[in-house]
Structure 1
Amino acid sequence: MKTKALLLSCILAISPIFSMASVSNATTQAGAHIDPDLTELLQKSVDSIQAVVTFKGDSAPTASQLDVLEKLGIKQGMSFQSLPITGIVATPEQISALAANPEVLSIYDNEKVTYENETGTELTGVDQLRKDDTFRKLNGGLPVSGKGIGVVVNDSGIDGTHPDLEFGNHVVQNVMASTNLHALSELLPISYVENVPNTDSTGGHGTHVAGIVGGTGEMSSGKYEGVAPGANIIGYGSGAAVAILDTIGGFDYALTHQTEYNIRVITNSWGTTSDAGTEFDPFDPINIATKKLYDRGIVTVFSAGNSGPGESTISGNYKKAPWVITVAAGTKQAKLAEFSSRGVSGKGGTVVVDGETFKWEDRPTVTAPGEGIISTRVVAPVSSLGATDDVENIEPAHLPYYTTMSGTSMAAPHAAGIVALLLEANPRLSPAEVKEILQKTASNMSGYEEWEVGAGYVNAYAAVDAAFSGRAYGTTVNADRAFNSNVNLNVERTPITLNYSNLNLNGSIHSFNVEQGVTELTARINATGLLGQTGNTINLVLVDPDGNEYSSGIYLLFPLYTDRTVQVTSPKAGQWTMKLEGLDGIALDEEVQGELTTKKAGSFTGLSDITGHPAESAIKIGVSERLLDGYADGSFRPNENLTRIDLAKYVVMGAGVRQYLPVTGTTTFSDVKGEDLAFAEAVAAKGAALRDPAYKGKGVLVTTAAGKFSPKQAVTRAELAYTLVQNLGLGADAESKMNEALTVQYGDSRIAISDSSLVPAHLRGHVQLALDLNILNAYFEITQGPYDLLPTVTAKFNPVNNVTRGDFAVAITRYYAQY
């Protein structure tokens, strides 16, 4: 619901304040909660374990609770002064005895941590650039951290008493400001109360934002470190009830104190929905203020707003200013968050300001992580923000210091932190150059357009490289490319709820009608199992008017990947049925949420030779979603073999691949030239898949000879399986299945793949997952002798067959449905 009030653009979880005492009764009945990682460790042969024990209560462990440890012979450890938590070294037998004690709330493994902002800094490449040796050498021997760059957090305030922010050191200035005009008796200069340790007394929004920009992660041993922990943070706090003057005061303060604190960035996670969808107004006081900052070399960052998913919902005309950076919110799966505000396709214009002509557009600039972000919690007063998510996502020892929030409010400071990294790498960059680098280095987001996500998912690693080297990125960015083929697609989505039950299957069936001319039908459910965590062995099936069934199959990885998707191109018009089937009678009863999506292709150009082809609908869908493209002569050539360079181009366009250029400036391949080289480098790079946040996986194309890309070589079905599974970030899972027999789901049984010996050993796991995910299909044959009671079903994969361009269109649209 839109409001006309000024709002902080984040999703605030309205829930009671979490306390250990509030769950003590339920825990007593169920026993102590044991960390799954610790349970696994207890099953191994180990002499001692480091564990974190949380007792019931709200303060330091009592004498009687510490006595519990002593009576069990536990003599190594430490106890917090204010928290009911101890760290211990104990044997598996001692831990098992502790778990049965009614005084114990939970026991967790004292596991090693990785440096992250709840995967956000991994996903955008911040962690990767921090440990890059070339960047470190270019930066005087130290990792790029935003050191010395002043970033103003124009928000509700900052709790500088938080050790991750530390007023007087990391937070170099903290200002309390409020422009209550009714409290003034005469016309006076604006006044600030400076050097206030804690200015965030209204809920913790600004403190959370500040931690994303550059919290040190001290209270989590670096786990929840911000994007630019070396930056100087300046808090400008207006409290919760803010008005336009309050926010403008932040811009004024940045200008007034720019030299004193080397202010180069200001981040703003607030907006007004009253003027969403309006034209850009250069006379808006906020636009005037941000232009002044632009002229002085200060980069202004805005959150896009949380009024999505409809178009024309960006909250504030000032977020369309050509000199600011406006940030949409992405998920950790590199998708656009449903709540993130969108712009309008093709809407924009030019404006002359101070004698210079600017082009403005109604869209975000880039997308950054904004869903389920863990960052600094205001220490006092205790905030209830994100309390429910916190219990599920944050270990007890960290709960007093961190909380979970979602919104474009979280995406904007992430981008602001990256800007600080760029300005440390190259302090001479202007705001316009910073904005261009962020857009030119962004990663394309599968199935989204500029008016939704901007140039794509922000890519800090490539952006910092561009800031250091000045090398030209952007060749692969969809927003900057011209395409040969275009299709207009009309999309309708319908939410569905089904009640799966082993005893009553009637609730597991839903009937619906498919109109004539529908290009694609996609059904999706999420079978989460017990407490939304275990997964469920439920199969999703669509039945067409003739009784033909289309199945999602049961993932071999169903506890980890709980969604099921069925996609049908050119579905037959008439009455269809959507139903759920439990595998072998072991599926759990569950209310399952899902969605039916239909797409109908309208006018199209640049596809002169696909009419009547079996893959016609898939080709139109792929072109519409920028998953593939035709040729300059207006043809698509659906029966030609797919080449490796075309596969590289298409997966970079629409399958979730990061931009990458070798840091040394050298080229990896001697047989790729011109524009094609950027695509080849991107797919070959380690950690190429955007869904590989830790940059650990191999490239997304099967390698050929060393130093060769073989751009004109045809792609086989097994090689395509590798590419699509790698792009989903499942490379490690695929490699773990290399030695398993290949099978495919057929009805309620699994059928062996008869030609599995033809699948190269290193691709077997990828083929298996491609089959399980229903991206690539097996070919079934049913035979029955004259005296056989039952038919024999065999299945082939045809792994060495070349993939045609039409084949690829079908596969990539199935991939997109899964993505």
Structure 2
Amino acid sequence: MTSRSSRKIRVSALAIGLLASGVALADAHLDPQLVNKLASALPTDELQVVVTYQQSGPVTAAQVQALKALGIEKGVTMHTLPIAGALATPAEIEALRQRDDVVSIYHNAPLRFFNKEQREISGAARVVQNPNDFGKAIPYSGRGVTVMVNDSGIDATHEDIKLGENVVENVLAPQNILAELAAIAAPGIVPMTYLEGQPNTDLGSGHGTHCAGTIGGTGERSNGLYRGVAPGADMIGYGSGGVLLILDAVGGLDYAATHQFTFDAPVRVTSNSWGSSGKFDPLNPVNVSTYELYKRGIVSVFAAGNDGPGEDTHNPYAQAPWVVSVGAGEKDGVLTSFSSRGKRGESGTFTMPDGKQWTYFNEPTVVATGVDIVSTRALTGALPPLAAEQDAANLTPAHLPFYTHMSGTSMATPHVSGVIALMLEANPDLTPAQIKAILEETATNMTGRLPWEAGAGHLNAYAAVAMAQGLRDDYGRTVNLLREFNANALLAPGGDPLPFEIFFSPVGEVESQSFEVGADVAWVAARAQVDANTIAVVLTDPDGNRYGSSITLPVLGDTAVTGAPGKPGTWTVTVRGIGSVSGVALDPASVTNGYAAPGNIAGEISFLKSAGFTGMDDVGNHPARQAIEFAVANRLVDGYSDRKFRPDQVLRRSELAQYLGMGASIRQSLPLDGSRSFSDLSVSSPAYAYAEAAVAKGASLRDLTWNQDGVMRLVNGGFKPSSSVNRTDLAYALVQAQGLQAEARAFDGELTAFFNGQRVPVRDASQVPADLRGYAQLALDTGVLNARFGIEQGPFDLQPKVVAYFDPGQSVTRAAYAVAAGRFMTQFQTAED
């Protein structure tokens, strides 16, 4: 296995949008459903669309006026989110698409919310459904492993997580034991006490019950539809209320260590969907406790936190190098906005009391799905209004009493805990360090996401179990976190932080502070430490785009952090209060500045400056320089070892496979039987693992079935690594990577391109193979490739007409791929904004 500590360098890369002030990468993204609607719509038809703007705050009055100026008269705007719903004609949609402040336009389509999708995208369902892949007659289920749910407790009266069956113990811990002791007249230092064998210990939120169902719920109440990852695992519930105090959390970890061998299966995993804010301290009682569990062979899994998208919002307990930190993704494979981020380049070496030296990196370990997760409902748990609405709209009446929706890194964490149970069933001898290494080495690179944001990438449970069993030991060669790059974007500290102090008033004008940002600044961040108040910090850039932090909450989190790509000019920083709770607006009329107590909020603004690029000395005067720099900064492409990029060189198939693996959310895939998918590329070649992943079924992270064809196709049974890539090849790859195989293959119309609100026939459509015309169409419609337009006028034509060409056989240069990769990233991440 590739050791996590074997990384020789840690490269700082520019954030998404570093080059946003340069070349626009694409028009606003239209989702495929809307494209299909437009194809059959009449000019007068009004379509239901959802418009997302490029900002962090609500739709502004000026943007509403812009909608009206385009002729759009019917719609609705959100109170807090940068989203509007509208009725618009095809021409109005095309005009709206051209606006610089519009990120995407989607058809107002129905949504589906299921826990099985969480199992599918990670591959956990594939592990259970395909035991023959692992040489097993009975599927892995977590059998022989006990997982402790260190949370608000478990309602073990639920048939899916029943006490005496898969819940082997349910502990009601004292709530704030120090306060209880203070109320007792008799002095004394007494041992921790708790009530065991309790049918229901989740007496407040229902949080722990939901987590337990994700780990090991049997799905009995849903005929298996909402079963957990490891239904054969045993579980212990440790209910310490909301886990608001350190001692409560330590009490649960202590119970796991004390009772490790009490039950039929040893305690090997603790699932901890809670945390705090602030800097990592190895001597914090929680960190010391998890270290002790580590030495006993118990792996602790922690939620990264829900304080994103600002930098340096990572749960400090999740930063311990001996634990697994879990970020949250959407069900389409993007990192969700609320998932906490680490801090780029931050690491440190320290020595624990036992004399062992450790190095921590402030970044998550992996990401798993954590949005709109359906799992077990506690009968006594409080149900947020938004969850009640989702449940009523999306669950059948038969399931409604027993299941509910929740979102958060709290929901992603138990999913990873369940996968670890599967790994330990496959190999009980794994140490916590080996488990963490396998999770990293089998992960899927997430498009445009760097280690400080998403760690090694998205969880791949199928590969992780295979590696745990020992079927393959050579995963990891494609993981961006674990490899070196020839071309890199560099960042440098931007000088001393700038302090600010702002008085917040719930009504009337709120103070703001202006400051200047230079052209060399790549990233702007604002941070405030808040004592017992509920505010968010908001940055506004010179173009009016707003970037808000998460809300600070007393006890749970006292730090507000936000960040934004640098733009030269005058910025402002201000603060706001809570606008809504669980999706319910606290001030529907928007007459206040949000719910928070009045008072002074102090903080500081810091900067990161661009220090240029290395490893690409030959792109300085190239027309595509900014697009290449953008792609390098976001790990979509790489240069050569001789410090050249060679922008005008034709892209080879081996390079396409590598770049898709780096930046198109392609799962790692190696044949478990040791065979090879092709013979014309050596196993020792750096390109081999990328090529296997590219041609494998289920390559795209968005393919929940794992049955779609690869993002590249073999050529006469070979991979042909040195062959060039043409535009048809690229269209296939980038559309397949979006998980749009069914849509592409269902296309049977005329190949057209959008121009000025109209579809223009593509003149060279006949040169595109018939089975690939749908891919060419979707590549054009989703904006990852452009058509080439021209003007024609015959000798007897009164007016010239626009014509379009796809140029299907044209070879793709490395610069052209960098442009397409940037566009792909822009549209791929639309769902998280």
Read off the aligned partner of 1:267 and give its amino acid letter: S
Whether the 8 Å CA contact 2:149–2:211 is kept in 1: the answer is yes
Does the alignment pair 1:164 with 2:166?
Answer: no
What pairs with 1:215-226 in structure 2 (closer than 5 Å)? 215-226=217-228
Displacement of 1:703 in angstroms is 2.1
Whether the 8 Å CA contact 1:135–1:143 is kept in 2: the answer is no
Whether the 8 Å CA contact 1:351–1:359 is kept in 2: the answer is yes
Aligned to 2:132: 134
Read off the aligned partner of 1:406 and give its amino acid letter: S
Residues 251-307 of structure 1, C-alpha deviation per residue, up to 9 Å, x if partnerless?
11111111123100001111122xx2x2x3222111111111111100001101111
Name the SS for the 1:172 alignment partner: strand
* Range that drifts further, 808-817 or 722-731: 808-817
C-alpha separation between the residues in 1 aligned to 2:803 and 2:610? 36
Unaligned runs of 5+ in 2: 1-111, 493-516, 523-566, 570-607, 829-833
Displacement of 1:637 in angstroms is 0.9
Whether the 8 Å CA contact 1:601–1:620 is kept in 2: the answer is no
Read off the aligned partner of 2:733 and give its amino acid letter: T
Whether the 8 Å CA contact 2:113–2:372 is kept in 1: the answer is no
C-alpha separation between the residues in 2 aligned to 1:423 and 1:215? 18
Aligned to 2:208: 206
Read off the aligned partner of 2:689 and give its amino acid letter: A
Displacement of 1:754 in angstroms is 1.0
Aligned to 1:367: 367
Whether the 8 Å CA contact 1:208–1:375 is kept in 2: the answer is yes
Name the SS for the 2:754 alignment partner: strand
The alignment of Structure 1 onto Structure 2 pairs a total of residues equal to 600
Does the alignment pair 1:727 with 2:737?
Answer: yes
C-alpha separation between the residues in 2 aligned to 1:198 and 1:411? 23
What pairs with 1:608-647 in structure 2 (closer than 5 Å)? 608-647=617-656
C-alpha separation between the residues in 2 aligned to 1:290 and 1:384? 31
Name the SS for the 1:404 alignment partner: strand
Whether the 8 Å CA contact 2:760–2:803 is kept in 1: the answer is yes
Aligned to 1:94: none
Displacement of 1:700 in angstroms is 0.3
Read off the aligned partner of 2:142 and give its amino acid letter: G
C-alpha separation between the residues in 2 aligned to 1:779 and 1:263? 62
Aligned to 2:480: 478
Read off the aligned partner of 2:203 and give its amino acid letter: S
Aligned to 2:246: 244
Read off the aligned partner of 1:269 and give its amino acid letter: S
Whether the 8 Å CA contact 1:489–1:624 is kept in 2: the answer is no
C-alpha separation between the residues in 1 aligned to 2:134 and 2:725? 39
Displacement of 1:783 in angstroms is 2.0
Aligned to 1:123: 121
Does the alignment pair 1:736 with 2:746?
Answer: yes
Does the alignment pair 1:670 with 2:679?
Answer: yes
Whether the 8 Å CA contact 1:364–1:451 is kept in 2: the answer is yes
Aligned to 1:266: 270
TM-score by length of 1: 0.71
C-alpha separation between the residues in 2 aligned to 1:115 and 1:311? 29
Whether the 8 Å CA contact 2:698–2:709 is kept in 1: the answer is yes
C-alpha separation between the residues in 1 aligned to 2:366 and 2:243? 28
Q: Given the alignment, which residue of 649, 658, 662 partners 2:658?
A: 649
Aligned to 2:329: 330
What pairs with 1:389-400 in structure 2 (closer than 5 Å)? 389-400=390-401
What pairs with 1:117-516 in structure 2 (closer than 5 Å)? 117-138=115-136, 141-178=137-174, 179-184=176-181, 185=186, 186-240=188-242, 242-261=244-263, 262-273=266-277, 276=278, 278=279, 280-316=280-316, 318-353=317-352, 354-380=354-380, 383-384=383-384, 386-469=387-470, 471-488=473-490
Read off the aligned partner of 2:473 and give its amino acid letter: R
Whether the 8 Å CA contact 2:330–2:336 is kept in 1: the answer is yes
C-alpha separation between the residues in 2 aligned to 1:149 and 1:196? 21
What pairs with 1:796-815 in structure 2 (closer than 5 Å)? 796-815=805-824
Whether the 8 Å CA contact 2:694–2:711 is kept in 1: the answer is yes
Whether the 8 Å CA contact 1:717–1:803 is kept in 2: the answer is yes
Aligned to 2:762: 753
Read off the aligned partner of 1:679 and give its amino acid letter: Y
Aligned to 2:586: none
What pairs with 1:58-137 in structure 2 (closer than 5 Å)? 117-137=115-135
Displacement of 1:790 in angstroms is 2.1
Does the alignment pair 1:691 with 2:664?
Answer: no
C-alpha separation between the residues in 2 aligned to 1:728 and 1:627? 15
Name the SS for the 2:778 alignment partner: helix
Displacement of 1:390 in angstroms is 1.8
C-alpha separation between the residues in 1 aligned to 2:623 and 2:283? 55
C-alpha separation between the residues in 1 aligned to 2:436 and 2:131? 26
Displacement of 1:601 in angstroms is 7.0
Read off the aligned partner of 2:170 and give its amino acid letter: N
Unaligned runs of 5+ in 1: 1-113, 491-513, 520-570, 574-598
Query: What is the alpha-carbon root mean square deviation over aligned residues?
Result: 2.5
Read off the aligned partner of 1:234 and give its amino acid letter: I
Read off the aligned partner of 1:158 and give its amino acid letter: I
Read off the aligned partner of 1:183 and give its amino acid letter: E
Displacement of 1:472 in angstroms is 2.2
Aligned to 1:577: none
C-alpha separation between the residues in 1 aligned to 2:692 and 2:456? 20
Residues 768-793 of structure 1, C-alpha deviation per residue, up to 9 Å, x if partnerless?
00011111111111123466332122
Aligned to 1:779: 788
Q: Given the alignment, which residue of 778, 798, 802 partners 1:793?
A: 802
Flag the 1:619–1:464 CA change in 2: closer, same or farther, 3 A: same
Whether the 8 Å CA contact 1:116–1:222 is kept in 2: the answer is no
Name the SS for the 1:660 alignment partner: coil
Name the SS for the 2:115 alignment partner: coil
Read off the aligned partner of 1:418 and give its amino acid letter: V
Aligned to 1:98: none
Flag the 1:241–1:700 CA change in 2: closer, same or farther, 3 A: closer
Read off the aligned partner of 2:674 and give its amino acid letter: G
Does the alignment pair 1:681 with 2:692?
Answer: yes
Displacement of 1:611 in angstroms is 2.2
Displacement of 1:337 in angstroms is 1.1
* Range that drifts further, 667-676 or 752-761: 667-676
Displacement of 1:621 in angstroms is 0.6
C-alpha separation between the residues in 1 aligned to 2:678 and 2:116? 36
Which structure carries more relative contact order (alpha carbon 8 Å, separation 6+)? 2
Whether the 8 Å CA contact 1:115–1:224 is kept in 2: the answer is no
Whether the 8 Å CA contact 2:204–2:380 is kept in 1: the answer is no
Flag the 1:702–1:516 CA change in 2: closer, same or farther, 3 A: farther
Whether the 8 Å CA contact 2:305–2:313 is kept in 1: the answer is yes
C-alpha separation between the residues in 1 aligned to 2:756 and 2:234? 60
Displacement of 1:350 in angstroms is 1.5
Displacement of 1:382 in angstroms is 6.2
Residues 102-154 of structure 1, C-alpha deviation per residue, up to 9 Å, x if partnerless?
xxxxxxxxxxxx9962411100001111122434534xx21111112100000
Displacement of 1:224 in angstroms is 1.1
Read off the aligned partner of 1:633 and give its amino acid letter: D
Flag the 1:517–1:392 CA change in 2: closer, same or farther, 3 A: farther
Whether the 8 Å CA contact 2:490–2:614 is kept in 1: the answer is no
Displacement of 1:801 in angstroms is 1.1
Flag the 1:793–1:602 CA change in 2: closer, same or farther, 3 A: farther
Does the alignment pair 1:714 with 2:724?
Answer: yes
Matched residues, percent identical? Answer: 49
Aligned to 1:11: none
